[in-house]
Every structure is written in C-alpha cells, then in structure tokens.
Amino acid sequence: MAQIIGGYFTSHVPGIGAAIARDQQQEAYWRPFFDGLIPVRQWLSVQQPDVAVVFYNDHGLNFFLDKLPTFAVGAAASYANADEGWGLPVQPAFRGFPELSWHIIESLVEAEFDITLCQQMNVDHAVVVPFQLAYPQAKAWPLRIVPIAINTVQHPLPSAKRCLALGRAVGKALRSWQGSERILVMGTGGLSHQLEGERAGYINNAYDLFCLDNIKDNPGALTHHSTVDLVELAGTQGVEILNWIAARGALGDGPLRQQSRNYHIPISNTAAATLVLEPLGN
C-alpha cells in the first residue's frame, strides 16, 4: 500500500533560486532561511519519497489571465520548467506519474470537484524552488511529481475552506491508491507578502504565527477567513497560504508531529517559512 510520509511546506520566492545560482546560501542575508532546510533534507534522505503531490500556484507561466482554472491537476508524463520572467536558470524537467494523476483526477471528479485536467503543463518557480531547496545536489530530480495548481492570482479565489476540502479529497485518493509508493505532500508559497501597490513589502508576523501554530492540529482555524480577509491579513500574494491549507488537508485527520519549522523575515518581500509535518504513526 502507498504511504503518505508527510508534508513539506515552504516559501517559493524566486530570489531563492537566484541565491542558489549565485551560491549565496551561506551569506548573512540568506543563511537563516537556508539553515531551515537542513532538517528537511535529512528527513527526506531517510524517508526517500518516490512521488510528490505538489499544491502550488502558477505565476503566469502555464496559465495566464485569459484562462485561469481554479484547481488544475497535472496528468503529464513530464513537466518542463521555463523562465517566466525572473531570469532564473531553467531547471531539469520533472518526471510525471500519469497513473497516479488520473487516479486523483477520477477521485476528485467523483467527489464533485470540477477540476481542470492538464495533460500538458509547465511548472514555474513555485514548483522548482522548493525542490532545489530539498535536493540541492541533484542532477536529476529523485522523485516523480503530480502538480496541483490553485488559483491564487485572479479573484475570485477559491475559499480557504474549499482548499482544505480539496486537499482532504486528494488525501483520500492517495490513501486508496494501490501502488507501493512513498508519497510526499507539498504546499508552496507564502507566508505573508505583498509585492505591489501601497502596501508593497507588507508582512504580518501575527497572522503567520497563527498559521504556523494552528496548521498542524487545527487547520480548520485557517478556514474562517474569507479570501478578502486573507488579502487583508496575509497580503495580496500571501494568499498563497491556500496552497499550504490544501496540502495540510491531504495529510488527513490523524495526529501529526512537527518534524521541523523555520520562520525568517524577510526573504525578498516575504516572511519566509519552512515546515515539515509527519504522521505520528510513521
């Protein structure tokens, strides 16, 4: 039987990719963030996941404002990276897992989620940067992926409650998958940040800590805010917390252990966080 080994949540700021390209991880500005990845890498080297289900948001590479699905599930055999405008080095393509993708898609549609299925999909920094952080020495990615894109860009956004429900439905699909894979769940983006307008640079330490403190045992607490509240609380791009909420849902209702947690302000315009949650039974 497949096993969900846990959840890896992290910010996906493109500047992190630039810092890696320039080998700046040990510089005073970057080190407090990169140090938070050390326990994540150790955990992954023990856990050896075969596949990652990645909740993230596309930033105009694969979807643009002309067509923007609320929830999109990848069902491709491979996912290419490309530069969506940040000038980051293009990373190797990811191997997909179409059989697992279709299983998730069928389960979600059965559960009445009207998702978009994508047999062709490119992935941007929101997928690539978290893997660069997790597998810094990798020449090729050591696991396959199923990307699930949530619209955090063009309002109306899906509610936090709906994202948690989506994640729970994905988790149910994963638990009914008959393969023997070790499955990692990922949520990328956040925490609070706003890149434009009068509040550019806005960070909300209190809201971030509320999320980090509650997401493990009380994820429902994160669903009481409307998407307008989320913009107010987390900033226009801090709404990427929706990806974390969905990923948390996929971990199910059983007890979790916090394997590691790091929070550091600022990385670029963002309150940067990394968190690993592991099912207690593992």
CA 152/CA 129 separation, integer angstroms: 18
Active site residue 125: yes
Q: Is 189 in the site for ligand DHB (CB under 6 A)?
A: yes
CA 204/CA 53 separation, integer angstroms: 28
- Asked if 10 contacts 275 with a C-beta cutoff of 8 angstroms, the reply is yes
Q: Which of residues 59-118 bind ligand DHB (CB under 6 A)?
A: 59
Helix (H, G, I), strand (E, B) or coil at 47: helix
Q: Is 237 in the site for ligand DHB (CB under 6 A)?
A: yes
Q: Which of residues 153-192 bind Fe ion (CB under 5 A)?
A: 189
Closer residue to Fe ion (CB): 189 or 249: 189
Active site residue 103: no
Structure tokens at 116: 């978009």
CA 48/CA 143 separation, integer angstroms: 9
Q: Is 19 in the site for ligand DHB (CB under 6 A)?
A: no
Q: Candidates 6-14, 132-140, 149-157, 168-176 — which segment interacts with ligand DHB by CB under 6 A?
A: 6-14
Closer residue to Fe ion (CB): 109 or 265: 265
Q: How far is the CB of 30 from Fe ion (least distance, A)?
A: 18
Q: How far is the CB of 204 from Fe ion (least distance, A)?
A: 16
CA 124/CA 63 separation, integer angstroms: 10
Closer residue to Fe ion (CB): 16 or 76: 16
Q: How far is the CB of 274 from ligand DHB (least distance, A)?
A: 14
The DSSP output letter for 48 is: -
Q: Is 204 in the site for ligand DHB (CB under 6 A)?
A: no
Q: Is 47 in the site for ligand DHB (CB under 6 A)?
A: no
| 254-to-208, 257, 278, 280, 282 alpha-carbon distances in Å | 23, 10, 10, 8, 11
Catalytic choice (12, 59, 103, 193): 193
Structure tokens at 135: 């597998």
The DSSP output letter for 193 is: B
Whether residue 266 is preceded by a cis peptide bond, meaning omega within 30 degrees of 0, is: yes
Q: Is 269 in the site for ligand DHB (CB under 6 A)?
A: yes
The amino acid present at 96, given as its one-letter code, is G
Q: How far is the CB of 3 from Fe ion (least distance, A)?
A: 30
Closer residue to ligand DHB (CB): 163 or 165: 163
Q: Is 3 in the site for ligand DHB (CB under 6 A)?
A: no
Active site residues: 125, 193
